[in-house]
Amino acid sequence: MIRLPLRILLVEDLETDAVLIKRKIAKIVEAPEIEVVDNLEDCKHMLINFVPDVIISDYNLPTCTGMEVLELALDIDSSVTFIFLTGTINDEELAAHTILAGGSGYILKKHMDVLDEKLEPLLKKVVFTMVAKKDIREQIRNNKIAVNQIYNYLDSLKADNKEQRENIGKIRESMGQFKTGDNDRKA
């Protein structure tokens, strides 16, 4: 049993699968904090404000693909662990592509009955990394939230003239000096 609390973002559109996945996670994580979303907009909101330790995502979603979720996640936090849990990946080439694109692993939904056994080693790896950073973990999370919210605000600004656009660029550049390797955002 993993005793360290884990923040998990579950990207899943089927409520029955989400309930089952949450039950399986509860078998291996003592205190999971799980948020469920099914689209990119909600996913972005959770990545900015919830800052998960791990993302578990279906591949086929109603409004996007798991690869789009992965790209968004890596854009916001390049160090986040991303696990595909899907019935779609049935060929080795697509599975390899997900890993090469930055996914940390994948599990087929046909193994849902033993999901806890398949997921446990992947989550233990996340915990191992978290324990190594234990002293600064919450500070890093709070800093990521603040930086993400600032970037989100800057993205929402509508620069009316060249000077304003240049100033926004300078702010982004200055903020880049304060980023950690854990949170590389594209400017």
pLDDT band of 21, cuts 50, 70, 90: very high
* Prediction pTM value: 0.73
Residue 46, pLDDT score:
97
pLDDT band of 183, cuts 50, 70, 90: very low
- What pairing do the DSSP bridges indicate for beta strands 54-57 and 81-86? parallel
- Average pLDDT in the chain: 84
Tens digits of residue pLDDT in 67-96:
999 999 999 988 899 999 887 656 667 777
pLDDT band of 181, cuts 50, 70, 90: very low
What residue segments make up the domains of the chain, in order of their start? 6-132, 137-176
Residue 137, pLDDT score:
63
Tens digits of residue pLDDT in 92-107:
677 777 888 888 888 8
Residue 88, pLDDT score:
64
Residue 16, pLDDT score:
95
What three-state secondary structure class fits 182?
Answer: coil
Tens digits of residue pLDDT in 39-67:
999 999 999 999 999 999 998 899 999 99
Residue 132, pLDDT score:
64
Residue 131, pLDDT score:
74
In this model, does residue 176 exceed pLDDT 90? Answer: no
Distance CA 170, CA 187 (A): 11
Residue 63, pLDDT score:
95
- The CATH T-level fold of domain 6-132 is Rossmann fold (3.40.50)
- What pairing do the DSSP bridges indicate for beta strands 6-11 and 81-86? unpaired
With a CB cutoff of 8 Å and minimum separation 6, the contacts of 83 are 54, 55, 56, 57, 103, 104, 105, 106, 107, 119, 122
Tens digits of residue pLDDT in 137-152:
677 777 888 888 888 8
Residue 159, pLDDT score:
64
* DSSP state at residue 143: H
Distance CA 180, CA 186 (A): 13
